[in-house]
C-alpha cells in the first residue's frame, strides 16, 4: 500500500479510528474528531465536518470499515446483509458528490468476496483509495499546470484543495504544481458564501504553502476579469456528466459565463471517479438543497430581515460549452463533449 502523507491531512486512520479534521472550525482552530461508528461518519459528511467530493468518498470508505467491524461483531454469519443499512445511511448523506456513491459501490464489491473478519481487507482497500487519490491529485497537478502557457494569476472558487481530497488537491493541486513551476504567481479566491470555504479553507491552505493569495467577494470576479488580472479560472467538481457538463459549488456557473465573456480560460480539475457516465447531461445531476438558515445567518447569528425566505442550492451546473479543459489523472479533455469524455473514460 502506498504511504499516505501530505502537509495537510483532512482524513487520518489512527488508533483503529477514523479521524477527520473539523473543517467547520478552520482557520481559527485545528481539531481532529474521532469516529468509531458509521452513523456518526454519515452525520459528519452531512454536517460539513468533511467536504469535497474526493474527501467524502474516502471518508465513506473508512466509514464502511467501521460498519463492517460492528456488524461482524454482532453477527458473524449475517454481517453482509446487515451492513446494507449502513451503506444506505452513507449514501443519503450528500446527494451530489458522485465519489460518495463510487466509493460505496467499490467497497460493496470488495465485501461480496470476503470470508471471515472483514476489517483487515476493507481497511486495506480504504487506505488504498486514500493513497490513490493523493497520487491522482499530484498527476492532475502536473497535467493542469502544463496547460498554463505563461506566468499568471488565477481565480478559484470554493475549496478544491488538500482539504477537499485525500491530500494535495484537485484545483489547488494544479495551483501547487503551477506555483512550483513558476507558472502561477498569485491566487484570487472567492469567499464562497454561505459556508465561506474560499475564505476559511482555500486562503488558509495557500497561506500554509506560502502561495500569495487575495480573498475577494464573488461579486468582484467580473471586475477582476475586466481588468485583465487573471488568465485562468481553475475549479474542482463534485460530478461531471457524460457530455462534460460540470457540477460544482454554487457560483461556478456564473464564473464560467464571466470567463468566456472576458476571454479567460476555464479549467476543471477532478479525478476520473467524479465522471458519471450514467448521467447524460448536467440537467440530470441531482442538486443538493441545503437549509435556508445557512444563507439567513452567519456563524449562528441572523443576518437577514426576520421573515425573509432563502434559496440555498449547494451546487450549480456549468455547461461543457463553457469549459476549456477538464483535467483528470487519466488525461486532459479540451473543449469537452460526449465523444471526448467517453474516450477519456475508456482510457483506463
Task: Check which CATH number belongs to the domain holding 312 and give it.
Answer: 3.40.50.10470
Report if residue 93 sits inside a domain: yes
Report if residue 82 sits inside a domain: yes
Q: Model confidence over 175-187: pLDDT tens digits? A: 999 999 999 999 9
pLDDT higher than 60, residue 74: yes
Mean pLDDT of 20-42: 97
Q: Which pTM does this prediction carry? A: 0.92
Strands of the 184-190 sheet, one edge to the other: 213-216, 184-190, 152-156, 232-235, 265-269, 325-328, 331-334
Contact, 261 vs 252, CB < 8 A? no
What is the model's pLDDT at position 253? 98
Same domain for 145 and 130: no
Same domain for 236 and 127: no
Catalytic-labelled residue, pool 190, 238, 276, 324: 238
6 tagged catalytic: no
Contact, 265 vs 225, CB < 8 A? no
Same domain for 314 and 215: yes
Q: Rounded to whole angstroms, how far apart are CA atoms 132 and 281?
A: 27
> 108 in helix, strand or coil?
helix
Q: Model confidence over 228-244: pLDDT tens digits? A: 999 999 999 999 999 99
What is the model's pLDDT at position 177? 97
Same domain for 114 and 151: no
> 181 in helix, strand or coil?
coil
Domain holding 322, by residue range, is 141-346
C-alpha cell belonging to residue 97: 458528490
What is the model's pLDDT at position 52? 93
What is the model's pLDDT at position 1? 38
Which parts of the chain are beta strand (E)? 11-14, 17-21, 32-35, 152-156, 184-190, 213-216, 232-235, 239-241, 246-249, 265-269, 275-276, 297-298, 301-302, 315-318, 325-328, 331-334
Same domain for 119 and 31: yes
Q: CB 159: neighbour CB atoms within 10 A?
A: 31
Report if residue 5 sits inside a domain: no
Same domain for 93 and 157: no
Same domain for 171 and 104: no
Q: Rounded to whole angstroms, how far apart are CA atoms 76 and 95?
A: 31
Q: Rounded to whole angstroms, how far apart are CA atoms 94 and 64?
A: 16
All residues at 6 or more sequence positions from 233 whose CB lies less than 8 Å from its CB, including other chains: 154, 155, 156, 157, 255, 256, 259, 264, 265, 266, 267
- The residue among 135, 169, 184 that closes a domain is 135
How many domains would you assign to the chain?
Answer: 2
- The residue among 91, 120, 135 that closes a domain is 135
Same domain for 155 and 130: no
Same domain for 185 and 130: no
Q: Rounded to whole angstroms, how far apart are CA atoms 345 and 116?
A: 35
Same domain for 234 and 102: no
> 217 in helix, strand or coil?
coil
- The residue among 105, 135, 165 that closes a domain is 135
> 223 in helix, strand or coil?
helix
Report if residue 2 sits inside a domain: no
Report if residue 3 sits inside a domain: no
Top pLDDT among 6 and 173 is at: 173
Task: Check which CATH number belongs to the domain holding 65 and give it.
Answer: 1.20.120.420
What is the model's pLDDT at position 348? 56
Q: Model confidence over 144-156: pLDDT tens digits? A: 999 999 999 999 9
Amino acid at each position: 500500500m502506498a504511504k499516505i502523507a501530505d502537509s495537510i491531512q483532512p482524513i487520518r486512520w489512527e488508533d483503529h479510528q477514523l479521524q477527520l479534521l473539523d473543517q467547520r472550525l478552520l482557520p481559527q482552530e485545528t481539531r481532529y474528531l474521532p469516529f468509531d461508528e458509521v452513523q456518526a461518519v454519515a452525520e459528519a459528511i452531512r454536517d460539513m465536518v468533511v467536504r469535497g467530493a474526493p474527501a467524502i468518498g474516502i471518508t465513506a470508505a473508512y466509514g464502511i470499515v467501521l460498519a463492517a467491524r460492528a456488524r461482524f461483531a454482532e453477527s458473524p454469519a449475517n454481517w453482509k446483509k446487515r451492513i446494507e443499512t449502513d451503506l444506505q445511511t452513507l449514501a443519503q448523506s450528500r446527494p451530489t458528490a458522485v465519489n460518495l456513491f463510487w466509493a460505496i459501490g467499490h467497497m460493496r464489491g470488495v465485501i461480496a468476496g470476503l470470508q471471515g473478519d472483514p476489517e483487515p481487507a476493507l481497511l486495506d482497500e480504504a487506505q488504498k483509495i486514500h493513497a490513490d487519490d493523493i497520487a491522482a491529485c499530484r498527476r492532475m497537478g502536473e497535467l493542469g499546470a502544463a496547460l498554463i502557457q505563461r506566468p499568471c494569476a488565477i481565480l478559484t472558487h470554493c475549496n478544491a484543495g488538500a482539504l477537499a481530497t485525500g491530500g494535495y488537491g484537485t484545483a489547488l493541486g494544479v495551483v501547487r504544481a503551477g506555483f512550483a513551476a513558476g507558472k502561477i504567481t498569485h491566487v484570487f479566491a472567492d469567499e464562497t458564501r454561505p459556508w465561506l470555504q474560499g475564505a476559511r479553507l482555500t486562503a488558509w491552505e495557500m497561506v500554509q504553502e506560502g502561495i500569495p493569495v487575495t480573498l475577494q467577494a464573488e461579486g468582484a470576479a467580473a471586475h477582476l476579469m475586466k481588468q485583465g488580472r487573471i488568465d485562468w479560472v481553475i475549479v474542482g467538481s463534485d460530478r461531471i456528466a457524460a457530455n462534460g457538463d460540470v457540477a460544482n459549488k454554487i457560483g461556478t456557473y456564473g464564473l464560467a459565463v464571466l470567463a468566456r465573456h472576458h476571454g479567460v480560460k476555464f479549467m476543471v480539475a477532478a479525478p476520473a471517479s467524479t465522471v458519471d457516465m450514467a448521467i447524460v447531461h448536467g440537467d440530470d445531476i441531482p442538486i443538493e438543497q441545503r437549509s435556508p438558515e445557512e444563507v439567513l445567518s452567519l456563524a449562528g447569528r441572523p443576518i437577514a430581515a426576520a421573515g425573509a425566505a432563502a434559496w440555498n442550492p449547494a451546487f450549480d451546473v456549468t455547461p461543457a460549452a463553457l469549459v476549456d479543459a477538464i483535467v483528470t489523472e487519466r488525461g486532459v479533455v479540451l473543449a469537452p463533449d460526449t465523444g471526448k469524455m467517453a474516450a477519456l473514460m475508456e482510457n483506463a
